[in-house]
Amino acid sequence: MRYWAYLVAKLTVAGAILLLLRKAVVLLFKSADIYQYVGPTPFSRATPPHNVLGYGFSMLALSLLAAGTVWLILWDSRTRCRTCLRRLRMPVGRGSWSHILLVGRPKTEYICPYGHGTLRVDNLQLDGGETPDWRPHEDIWTELRALEESKK
Ligand SMILES: [Zn+2]
């Protein structure tokens, strides 16, 4: 729940900043707002908007910035721990590119530095994007106690 709330909060903040940037571009090119220009009418001699090209390129750059921002937010949230929201560390390669049938498909495993879980990301994507596999760990102290009791 905390993971999804953090993702929604990041998207909300980014959306607010991008809306402010859009508002700034619209104010900067106020005379170039082509949606308010209806053309010359018999009763009024409205002038065509100025700098429509600059307005269009600014909106194009803003839309590219928005797409990049959303991509960065999603990429960042995919590599965070689902429990404590810290960045996952220690990437370990599993499987083999040359022995897929014997060893398994190549994967990269990331682990939470506090032991909350492991994220397995497939490096080989044959049938489209596969969702990373998050496996939560149990409490490491419980596991250590069980290990100690099994030795006795
Ligand atoms: Zn964690």
User: pLDDT, tens digit, for every residue of 93-128?
Assistant: 998 888 888 888 899 999 999 889 999 998 887 777
Ligand 1 center to 84 CA (angstroms): 4
Task: Give residue 25's pLDDT.
Answer: 87
Q: Mean of the pLDDT values across residues 46-58?
A: 73
In sign, the C-alpha dihedral spanning 137, 139, 142, 147 is positive
Res 91: pLDDT: 93
Q: Strand, helix or coil at 46?
A: coil
Q: Across residues 130-141, what is the average pLDDT?
A: 83
Question: What CA–CA distance (Å, rounded) separates 47 from 98?
Answer: 67
Question: What's the pLDDT at 138?
Answer: 80
Task: State residue 34's pLDDT score.
Answer: 59
Expressed in angstroms and rounded, the spacing between residue 116 Cα and the centre of ligand 1 is 4
Distance 68 CA to ligand 1 centre (A): 26
What separation in Å is there between the alpha carbon of 28 and the centre of ligand 1?
45
Find the 139 Cα to ligand 1 centroid distance in Å.
Answer: 11
Reported pTM: 0.71
CA distance 96 to 93: 9
Query: What are the φ and ψ backbone dihedral angles of 109, each rounded to 5 degrees?
Result: -110, 135
Average pLDDT over residues 16-28: 91
Of residues 101 and 64, more confidence is placed in 64
Dist. CA 82 → ligand 1 center (Å): 7
